[in-house]
Amino acid sequence: MTKIRSFHLATSAFLLLISFGILGSPISHVAAEGWSRFRGPSGNGIAEGTSNVPTEWSRDTNIAFRTPLPGQGWSSPVVSDGRIYLSAAIPAGEAGDSKSPDLDLSLIVLDAKNGDVLKTVSLMRQTAEKSPKIHKKNSHASPTPIVDGDRVFVHFGYQGTACVDLDGNVIWKNRDLFFKPVHGNGGTPVVVDDKLIFTCDGASDPKVVALDANTGEVVWEVDRPNDASRKFSFCTPALIFVNGQRQVIAPGSDCVLSISPDDGRVIWQLLYSGYSVIPKPIYHNGLVFLSTSYDTPSMLAIDPTGEGDVTDTHLKWSLKKNVPHTPSMLADEEWIYSISDDGIAMCVEAATGDIIYKKRVGGGFSASPVMVDDKIYYTNESGLTTVIAAGPDYKVLAENDLGERTLASAAVDGNALFIRTADAIYRIEE
């Protein structure tokens, strides 16, 4: 195992020897492979290709199925090869045994066409005695599963990580990376070749970890700068390509790290002020876009071609108002789209940070938006989805109310939209 401590420029001069060349281009659109991970195959929340996902629906219209779900979980659904995968924390034993029961941290597999539950696989037991307090908006099963080939990775943050085959048979488990949680678990891993990379940003000693995807053993760890006053965050890393070099972008409290997935080497870091970082970063038109902090977030645009500490050199622009605390952003053509937790939709010019529009959508938001065929779907916490036209002119196309609490981000597969609510999962299709 390689262990890499947070670096300083004085001790990392070798990074300056690396040649990056010209600015890398954005991740290209990926051929359709379902919606196999958080925010889709490209990790950007955009459905690839042409789709006829409905613009309008209700509880009685354009609903192919509604399947009740056991337990609680805010993991987003993923869809691959005709199956839906999601996680849940399901009370163990008889219902009503206890107000704070033991929980089976589980993977639920459903038929994507008819909604039938195919199997429920209990992966880990979380005892009531060791169950930490969580934020009222969180669950004990919030990270999203990942389908990668013939394997499914299921992550429960501080409780551990499991790998199963497509039939639910356990290949490995790792419960050795416990860290003291704050508000529960959150961030989803990213798969890079034979590594599963995720953040361990708890109450102390925050770090980024890579596991061997075949065995679950730790390959490398990268410690974050440890002087943040509040060290906990919940961000999902993003894999990007810059001038032919891969970078894992991993925001956390007071800093974002760019890490080489091969060996855990820190390529660059940028410091900021903020904690409880949640939105997944995106890479578009040569810039990394991310949102920092919970109390007072900032939207940052970062040039990822730097080396070492780039705080004073590679920040291209920043915004401090109406920035999302929780939902991730979208990027398309020359625009960045976002929705704040309190319901302000914003369109920003990617190159400059100039605000094109700000409009109040209404409601509270936790789910990240998705884009399908030049339409943006914003789903609020009460289950109302507002569909707007992409582009610099704000135009509402439809409003669709399921009337159920919704914090999970939607998934797209073919002509269907999948929305997970507190009690069920919907397939929305004409």
Instruction: Kindly report the CATH number assigned to the domain that includes residue 89.
Output: 2.130.10.10
- Tokens (6 digits) for 418: 């999948």
Measure CA of the first residue to CA of the last residue in the chain; give whole Å: 51
Structure token digits, residue 243? 């001038």
Give residues with Cβ within 8 angstroms of 321, minimum separation 6: none
Helix segments in 287-422, DSSP class H: none
Amino acid occupying residue 114: N
What is the tens place of the pLDDT at every residue in 199-242?
999 889 999 999 999 999 999 999 998 788 899 899 999 999 99
Distance CA 172, CA 160 (A): 11
Helix ranges (DSSP H) in 286-379: none
Q: Which sign, positive or negative, has the C-alpha torsion 83, 86, 330, 195? A: negative
Give residue 230's domain range. Answer: 2-428
User: DSSP E strands: which ranges in 234-286?
Assistant: 238-242, 245-252, 255-259, 266-271, 282-284
Q: What pLDDT sits at residue 26? A: 34
C-beta atoms surrounding 84 within 10 Å: 27
Of 163, 81, 72, whose CA–CA distance to 118 is shortest?
A: 81
Residues 37-56 pLDDT 10s: 999 998 999 998 878 999 99
**pLDDT score for 100:** 67
Quote the number of domains for the chain. 1
The DSSP code for 164 is E
DSSP annotation of 9 reads: G
The answer to which of 25-29, 110-114, 166-170, 332-336 has the lowest mean pLDDT is 25-29
Asked if the model's pLDDT at residue 127 lies above 80, the reply is: no
Condensed to tens digits (0 to 9), the pLDDT of residues 246-284 reads: 999 999 999 999 999 999 999 999 999 999 999 999 999
The rounded mean pLDDT for the chain is 89
- Is there a contact between 303 and 283 (Cβ–Cβ < 8 Å)? no
Q: With beta carbons less than 8 A apart as the criterion, state whether 37 and 78 touch.
A: yes
pLDDT at 7 over 60: no
Write the pLDDT tens digit of every residue in 68-104: 999 999 999 999 999 999 999 999 875 545 566 899 9
pLDDT confidence of residue 216: 98
| Residue 185 banded pLDDT, cuts 50, 70, 90 | confident
Cα gap 414→286, rounded to integer Å:
29
Tell me whether residue 196 is exposed, middle or buried, using C-beta atoms within 10 angstroms of its C-beta: 0 to 12, 13 to 18, 19 or more.
buried
d(CA 201, CA 119): 32
Under the banding of pLDDT at 50, 70 and 90, the label for residue 112 is very high
CA distance 410 to 337: 16
